[in-house]
Amino acid sequence: MKALLKTLSEAYGPSGAEDQVREVVRAEVRKLADYVTVDPLGNLIAVVKQQSKTGKKIMLAAHMDEIGFAVTHVDAAGFARVLPSGGVNPLASVGQRVRFANGRLGVVGLDARRDDLGKPPTLSEMFIDLGASSRAANPVQVGDVAGFWRPLEDLGGRLIGKSLDDRVGVAILIETLRALKRTPHEVAFVFTVQEEIGLRGAGVAAFGLDADLGLALDVTRTGDTPNGPKMETALGAGPAIKVRDARMLTDPRIKELLLARAREAKIPTQLEVLEGGTTDAAAMQLARGGLPVGCVSVPARYIHTPSEMVDYGDVQQCVALLLAVLHKPIEL
């Protein structure tokens, strides 16, 4: 699974440009599901057909896209000005390497200052330097999107990489699909697009699938760093079962289902209340006439930076929890 995480983390796929990472996912799942489709927005959906008349139709979602920088202007000297694609943190961006769809690398630079040198940077002051000496020599154009570039690093129990939000969720769904030998349910494994710019893919997919219940797989913040947010979640304490976030209230029946299956399987869990931010579950919940949803989160440090950190044990336990949910009948 670490090899899969490395491939997914290092793949290129900012919001709206998920083609390359989608092909990585397609290659992994095409022989595991009963059928695989791509909808008009670009969501990849791998379906395991229903195996019991009493089974539910379940939607599992993890987003393929990552945050990035969209080029708005290339000046005469070849420097590309950008705007954010998703929740880019300017403080974590200066000096970082980025990569475009064509493979070209650049570095995020900051306008020189003559006063107030300690002021936090803003995106309007930033540019991407691709090593070009003129506009004509610049290998990108207006509208091209760059994502952070960093290789995944394995620290043993912990992994550090770019776009683990939410390639770690993508890996969990792939591994769950690979390990799912039996289920009474019809399960749609949905690898969504454009989450970082408004949960767009999940809403479209949930409307089309019209499932009985849904679960999102994503990352969440932790409270285990010095002077960190006042949260109960921590690396190494198991999957986090979301209670609520800024845009979604977990259906109490889904929360209790997850907790009960975790207890039965002796999987450690923690409860998550996230003050800011949300996941695909928020869009799924509002599709059609409404969908009972929940979210299983992987605790992660340094979210929306090029060096997001997760605990490998938590990742494995998330797979175990999903299998525990899918192996048995579900009554809501």
Which residue type does 104 have? R
For 97, the 3-state DSSP assignment is: strand
Asked if residues 180 and 187 have their Cβ atoms less than 8 Å apart, the reply is yes
Residues in the chain: 332
Bridge-partner residues for 81, per DSSP? Answer: 73, 127
Q: Which of 146, 62, 35 is nearest to 101 (CA)?
A: 146
Q: Tell me the CA distances in angstroms from 119 to 82, 113, 114, 125, one per residue in order.
A: 20, 10, 11, 12
Q: Which one-letter DSSP state was computed for residue 49?
A: P
Q: Which of 66, 32, 11, 58 lies closest to 205, judged by CA?
A: 58
Q: Other CB atoms closer than 10 Å to residue 236's CB: what's the count?
A: 16
Dihedrals φ, ψ of 57, to 5°? -100, 115
Q: With H, G, I as helix, E, B as strand and everything else as coil, classify residue 6.
A: helix
Q: What is the CA radius of gyration of the chain?
A: 20
Q: Which among 276, 215, 310, 322 is positioned nearest to 9, based on CA atoms?
A: 310
Task: Return the active site residues.
Answer: 195
Contact 180/29 with Cβ under 8 angstroms? Answer: no
Q: What is the largest CA-CA distance in the chain?
A: 71
Where residue 277 falls (left for φ over 0; alpha for ψ -120 to 50; beta otherwise) is: left
Terminal-to-terminal C-alpha distance of the chain: 32
For residue 287, what is the DSSP state? S
Report the amino acid identity of residue 64: M
